[in-house]
Amino acid sequence: MKAKVTINIDKEVYQKAHELGINVSKACENYLKQLIEAIEGINRQNNPNETNENKVKPRAGFGPATITLPR
């Protein structure tokens, strides 16, 4: 099941993505999946015996600094 959401994206970024044929919705979904997996993996490594309630939650909108888009 899909959720309908609204996001704000820089107009130039959106236009360039559209020109390149990028499905923005799918790209966002895929990136969020990768980000979730990375954060959960870090939490498991740092706190293998803790419950979900005790784990540090990332601040919304901030991704890993190491992920970049190809130019």
What pLDDT score was predicted for residue 67? Answer: 47
Q: How high is the pLDDT of residue 66?
A: 47
Nearest CA to 64 among 39, 45, 41, 40?
39
- What's the gap between Cα 4 and its chain centre? 16
Pick from 5-9, 33-37, 64-68: least confident = 64-68
Residue 25 resides in a domain = yes
In a domain, 53, yes or no: no
Alpha-helical regions (H) of the chain: 11-19, 24-46
Structurally, the chain folds into a number of domains equal to 1
Q: Is residue 63, in this structure, part of any structural domain at all?
A: no
How far is 4 from 39, CA to CA, in rounded Å? 24
Query: Containing domain of residue 39, as a range?
Result: 11-46
pLDDT digits (tens, 9 = 90+) for 10-40: 999 999 999 999 999 999 999 999 999 999 8
Tokens in use for 30?
A: 């895929």
Classify residue 6: in a domain, yes or no.
Answer: no
pLDDT band at 43 (very low <50, low <70, confident <90, very high): confident
